[in-house]
């Protein structure tokens, strides 16, 4: 596809002066800007095309070359390769034309940034692993955590410059953080080597922070851990991460929760499970047992006569509280019927007597043995 004429792209005549060219581009760029034309590849292509045309025509030298030779002025062999308007000219229109964006739109959209002060780097997010007990997760807690981090430097108030002196706008890039090198007709843009893209230089760096505007320090923070947290819960403390470079915004601090295993209770979501031993006689005859609850209290539970091992009973709302509102979970008790050991001779005697009497009235074993008998019968046949 042959390239469109740059004047045609901007909708102006060949005689247009610098002010007209800029005005025409401003109008086109606003109309076609990706922020206003999301998912519109046609607008995006036209937007790039307009940027490229402007990039050329705003420069008197390039404009003269274009007026004389047309697009051929910028094609292979005439200079350093690439097209006017940035390295390669494809795809990365954001950085290639960023100075124009800044010029025309200021901080529109936020992401592209304006002057040098917006280039100050944001501090890192920090992660702190906090192990809590199940009881703490149940009740919630206030915890003081100490994190090694970076805080704004007090001596220079975060500027990085010594004794109240102000950082200077970088003379190399005039605070843009980027420089453009002319190669023949072409302009290549790169990060400013003087200020490393910060847009500012510091004549006398603060000795405390070596010009970084922040110093390493342990910070103690009181953290509110809500009731109901579980392993994997993440609590974000906005702005409590590392301080930014030279007064840049702070990162966030994330508290990662791990809930320790408990000796008595097993947790599944907001439900708790507890295995409770029950004597053989209590399981047979029925009765009350006392079980522990996570709040440190106890509950009385009625065991129905004839309970088998593994039988579960539910105590409503005795589980963990819900982290994001809603009702609490339940507590489940699983009975573990215990076979008595270390019997006295009297107990043995009574159990033998019991066995003689009880041989046939156990519903589960009688069903089982009936099945076994028919199984053996079928094997014989």
User: In the complex, which residues of this chain contact Zn ion (CB under 5 A)?
Assistant: 153, 155-156, 170, 172-173, 192, 194-195, 206, 208-209
> Which tokens in the block code for residue 149?
């981090």
> Which tokens in the block code for residue 335?
């009975």
Distance separating alpha carbons of residues 251 and 319, to the nearest angstrom:
36
Least distance CB 109 / Zn ion (angstroms): 23
> Which tokens in the block code for residue 202?
């510091």
Distance from chain centroid for Cα 334: 39
Q: Which is nearer to Zn ion, 73 or 209 (CB)?
A: 209
Distance separating alpha carbons of residues 322 and 318, to the nearest angstrom:
12
Least distance CB 195 / Zn ion (angstroms): 3
What count of other Cβ atoms lies within 10 Å of the Cβ of residue 113?
A: 17
> Which tokens in the block code for residue 299?
């509950």
Least distance CB 200 / Zn ion (angstroms): 8
185 pairs with which residues across the strands?
none
> Which tokens in the block code for residue 141?
């807690």
Q: Which is nearer to Zn ion, 208 or 230 (CB)?
A: 208
Least distance CB 85 / Zn ion (angstroms): 21
End-to-end Cα separation, the chain, in angstroms: 89
Q: Which is nearer to Zn ion, 10 or 195 (CB)?
A: 195
Least distance CB 206 / Zn ion (angstroms): 3
Q: Which is nearer to Zn ion, 164 or 326 (CB)?
A: 164
Do the Cβ atoms of 132 and 141 come closer than 8 Å? Answer: yes
Least distance CB 36 / Zn ion (angstroms): 31
Distance separating alpha carbons of residues 88 and 186, to the nearest angstrom:
11
The residue among 64, 58, 44 whose CA lies nearest residue 12 is 58
How would you class 238 by CB atoms within 10 Å of its CB: exposed for 0-12, middle for 13-18, buried for 19 or more? exposed
Distance from chain centroid for Cα 219: 22
What count of other Cβ atoms lies within 10 Å of the Cβ of residue 131?
A: 11
Distance separating alpha carbons of residues 268 and 289, to the nearest angstrom:
24
Least distance CB 217 / Zn ion (angstroms): 12
Distance separating alpha carbons of residues 184 and 69, to the nearest angstrom:
15
Q: Which is nearer to Zn ion, 195 or 253 (CB)?
A: 195
Least distance CB 88 / Zn ion (angstroms): 23
Q: Which is nearer to Zn ion, 177 or 329 (CB)?
A: 177
């Amino acid at each position: 596809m042959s390239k469109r004429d740059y004047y045609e792209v901007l909708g102006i005549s060949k005689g247009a002066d610098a002010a007209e060219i800029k005005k025409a581009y401003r109008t086109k760029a606003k109309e076609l800007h990706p922020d206003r034309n999301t998912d519109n590849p046609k607008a995006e292509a036209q937007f790039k095309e307009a940027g490229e045309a402007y990039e050329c025509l705003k420069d008197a030298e390039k404009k003269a070359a274009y007026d004389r030779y047309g697009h051929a002025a910028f094609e292979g062999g005439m200079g350093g390769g690439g097209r006017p308007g940035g390295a390669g000219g494809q795809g990365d229109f954001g950085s290639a034309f960023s100075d124009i964006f800044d010029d025309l739109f200021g901080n529109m959209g936020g992401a592209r940034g304006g002057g040098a002060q917006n280039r100050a780097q944001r501090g890192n997010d920090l992660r702190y692993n906090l192990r809590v007990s199940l009881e703490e997760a149940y009740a919630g807690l206030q915890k003081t955590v100490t994190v090694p981090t970076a805080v704004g430097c007090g001596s220079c108030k975060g500027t990085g410059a010594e004794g109240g002196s102000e950082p200077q706008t970088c003379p190399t890039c005039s605070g843009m953080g980027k420089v453009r090198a002319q190669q023949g007709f072409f302009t290549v843009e790169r990060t400013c080597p003087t200020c490393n893209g910060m847009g500012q230089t510091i004549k006398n760096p603060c000795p405390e922070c070596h010009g970084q505007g922040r110093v390493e320090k342990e910070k103690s923070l009181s953290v509110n851990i809500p009731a109901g947290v579980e392993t994997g819960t993440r609590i974000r403390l906005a702005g409590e991460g590392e301080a930014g470079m030279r007064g840049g915004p702070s990162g966030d601090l994330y508290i990662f929760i791990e809930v320790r295993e408990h000796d008595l209770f097993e947790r599944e979501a907001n439900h708790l499970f507890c295995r409770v031993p029950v004597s053989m006689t209590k399981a047979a005859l029925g009765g009350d047992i006392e079980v522990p609850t996570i709040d440190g209290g106890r509950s009385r539970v009625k065991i129905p006569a004839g309970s088998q091992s593994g039988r579960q009973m539910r105590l409503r709302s005795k589980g963990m509280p819900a982290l994001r509102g809603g009702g609490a979970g339940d507590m489940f008790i699983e009975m573990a019927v215990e076979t008595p050991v270390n019997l006295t001779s009297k107990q043995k005697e009574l159990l033998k007597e019991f066995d003689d009497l009880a041989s046939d009235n156990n519903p589960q074993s009688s069903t089982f043995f009936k099945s076994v008998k028919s199984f053996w019968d079928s094997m014989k046949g």
